[in-house]
Amino acid sequence: MILYYLLVFSLPLAGHDLVTRVVMGMTTVKWLGLACLLVALLHAAARRRLPPLLSSPQGRVFVLFLVVVGLSYAINIGYAGREKISEDVIGIFAAHLMFFVTTLCLVDSLERLRYTLLAAIGGIAFASLYAVREWQVAIALYGSHRPTYIVGDPNYFTGAAIVVIPVALNFALGGGPRLLRLYCGVCLLLTFAAVTLAASRGGFLGLLAALAVLLWQSPRRVRVAVLVVCVLAPLMAIPSSSPVARLMNPAASDVQAADVRPALWKAGFRMMRAFPVFGSGLGTFKPVSAQFADPGEDLNFMAHNSFIEVGAEAGIPGLVLFAALFYFSARNMGRVRQRALRFRHATLFEIALGVQASLIGYGVASLFVSGQYQKMFWFLIFISVCAGNVAASVFRPLWGAAEAAPCRDAGPAVAEAAQFAPAAAAPDMLRARG
């Protein structure tokens, strides 16, 4: 599992030399991914049981989505000017498929699920250190700067941060060990600082949506609200380097970026009408959208909307399946959260609520960012599958006892007894306080 935790830790480090360095024709992160896949297959063989790849609705939707984008690739690959782009993007989805198999094979217990999320939280915090340092150096030279080197892109980094912030908040405010809460608290401070400096307006709206879900559903609403306000308020006060500043006092480039997006979205809808079934081909939005622009418009950009871009490139079936990934993943986490309330399982409650909030927040951010190819997004989808599988294995032996003595109001119990407990201690988590 150490190799897998390193792989998850490296996901946000898009531009780090240790991740992008080429060794024997492949980058180090690809070699690490292949090693993890091999370990996962050996683990599955040792258990003599196939991984539950299709046990969840979002897992089945993911496989169908791969089929649709594969058909789009095969049908559109022959068009002039699209071959190289399509080859690059289909390779990305092939890597996502391998990561899907690896994750579901290895993350098969509550302990592994928890450590996987902690690795992701640490990876974002480590990337945040680079982002803050880059801003610190560049601000003295240029006066204003949005970190892009290690994190790859400030918008994508903010989306990746949305994946882990709600879970980290739940862990930091939970009843776990002090060292774990300190770890998550420090990671949150670093992440919030980097998100502020990244100044992604769409990502900031997604983060607000995720935090709103967390506040609405958490039994610790007051503590969550106080922590968020105390951390965000000073950071957002930075006059020239925050998403609030870009929203309230946009620069000329910000206004131009905002003005071009309606034109891009209009071109995207026209592409969907022109290629309704198989789309224009993976990775072709930038070159093809120019053909559907209004006269005099230069649209050599990404769509800045994941849903429109997927619909334009993979057709309406691809768009439906992409939206279904969010719906089924969030619904599945809602069910896990409700069962965790019923069984007074604090750890699974924290994870399910955090992942559900992240899904909703990333969905809102995706309305303004083309983040459908990002590794952290697919990690979030795959973790939702693993969380559902782990919850089923933990709750199954307790279901009969719960039916015999149903819980009437589990919310206060979770608030009072939120604590870390290993999967092996699952029978002790059924607390008779209903």
Q: What six digits make up the tokens of 126?
A: 């480590």
Give whole-number Cα distances, 40 to 105, 385, 411, in Å.
5, 16, 37
Is the C-alpha dihedral spanning 150, 156, 158, 164 positive or negative? negative
Give whole-number Cα distances, 291 to 186, 304, 363, in Å.
48, 18, 28
- Give me the DSSP letters along 406-431: --S--HHHHHHH-----GGGGGGG--
d(CA 323, CA 325): 5
On the CB side of 172, how many CA atoms lie within 13 Å of its CA? 19
Give whole-number Cα distances, 326 to 62, 91, 303, 343, in Å.
11, 23, 19, 26
d(CA 156, CA 370): 8
Q: Hey, how many other C-beta atoms are within 10 angstroms of the C-beta on 411?
A: 14
Supply φ then ψ for residue 175, to 5 degrees.
Answer: -100, 25
Q: What is the DSSP letter of 86?
A: H
- What are residue 164's DSSP bridge partners? none
| Per-block mean pLDDT, blocks of 10 residues, the chain (434 long) | 91 81 83 90 82 85 92 74 59 88 91 94 92 78 69 84 92 85 91 85 88 84 76 63 69 73 88 89 82 77 88 92 95 91 87 94 91 90 92 73 42 38 38 32
Q: What share of the chain is helix, strand, coil (3-state, %, to 5)?
A: 75, 0, 25
pLDDT at 144: 66
d(CA 67, CA 124): 31
Give whole-number Cα distances, 414 to 231, 263, 380, in Å.
25, 48, 24
d(CA 126, CA 146): 17
Supply φ then ψ for residue 249, to 5 degrees.
Answer: -130, 70
Residues 281/315, Cβ–Cβ less than 8 Å: no
147 contacts: CB under 8 Å, gap ≥ 6: 130, 131, 132, 134, 135, 138, 154, 157, 194, 197, 198
Residues 35/3, Cβ–Cβ less than 8 Å: yes
pLDDT at 184: 92
pLDDT at 383: 94
Instruction: Return the ∠ at Cα 58 (arms to 53 and 62), rounded to 5°.
Output: 75
pLDDT at 410: 39
Residue carrying the six token digits 């795959």:
382
Angle at which helix 154-173 crosses helix 375-404, to 10 degrees, equals 30
Tell how strand 26-27 and strand 22-23 pair up. Answer: antiparallel
Burial of 404: CB neighbours in 10 Å, binned 0-12, 13-18, 19+: exposed
d(CA 1, CA 106): 7
Residue carrying the six token digits 């933990």:
394
Q: Hey, how many other C-beta atoms are within 10 angstroms of the C-beta on 419?
A: 13
Burial of 48: CB neighbours in 10 Å, binned 0-12, 13-18, 19+: exposed
Residue carrying the six token digits 């100044």:
199
